[in-house]
Amino acid sequence: MSIAYYCVLAAIFLPIVFAGLAKSRGDFDNARPREWLTSLEGWRQRAHWAQLNTFEAFPPFAAAVIIAHQLGAPQGPVDVLAVLFLVFRGAYGLFYIVDRPTLRSLAWMAAFACTVGLFIIAALA
């Protein structure tokens, strides 16, 4: 299995990390989790929002990695972009939680550029 495929596996766990942070308050209500999540404020609320956005970013990234492999794109650049995607998405979540919107947006754009780059590499293969 390639490094890029391992990155897809790792990306599955990113939203779970952010969800765990959001739910770390101690009074999490598993009977009504969505209702409980609406009561969050501050950094825990932002961790929940980071979780949601990370779920949204996963499908295009996973598709890009799979398509790049299927079309025979050069493995080195595919692996680099996949690793960078994880780094930027992790930074995105951190910047979201600590309320740094400009850095958060830059990290989001960089991760998005990695996904687009994977598609471009695939198209050129």
CA distances from 45 to 30, 34, 37, 72, 88 (A): 17, 12, 8, 41, 20
Report pLDDT for 101.
97
Contact 50, 23 (CB under 8 A): no
Q: CA-to-CA distance for 29 and 74, rounded, in angstroms?
A: 47
- Stated as kind and residue range, the H or E segment containing 3 is helix 3-22
The model's confidence at residue 10, banded by pLDDT at 50, 70 and 90, is very high
The model's confidence at residue 33, banded by pLDDT at 50, 70 and 90, is confident
Please, which residues have CB within 8 angstroms of residue 16's CB and are 6 or more apart in sequence? 51
The model's confidence at residue 34, banded by pLDDT at 50, 70 and 90, is confident
Query: For the chain, what are the domain ranges?
Result: 3-124
The CATH number for 3-124, chosen from 2.60.120.260, 1.20.120.550, 3.90.1150.10, 1.10.287.70, is: 1.20.120.550
What is the end-to-end Cα distance of the chain in Å, rounded? 20
CB count in 10 Å sphere of residue 90: 18
Report pLDDT for 36.
87
SS3 30: coil
Q: CA-to-CA distance for 78 and 4, rounded, in angstroms?
A: 6
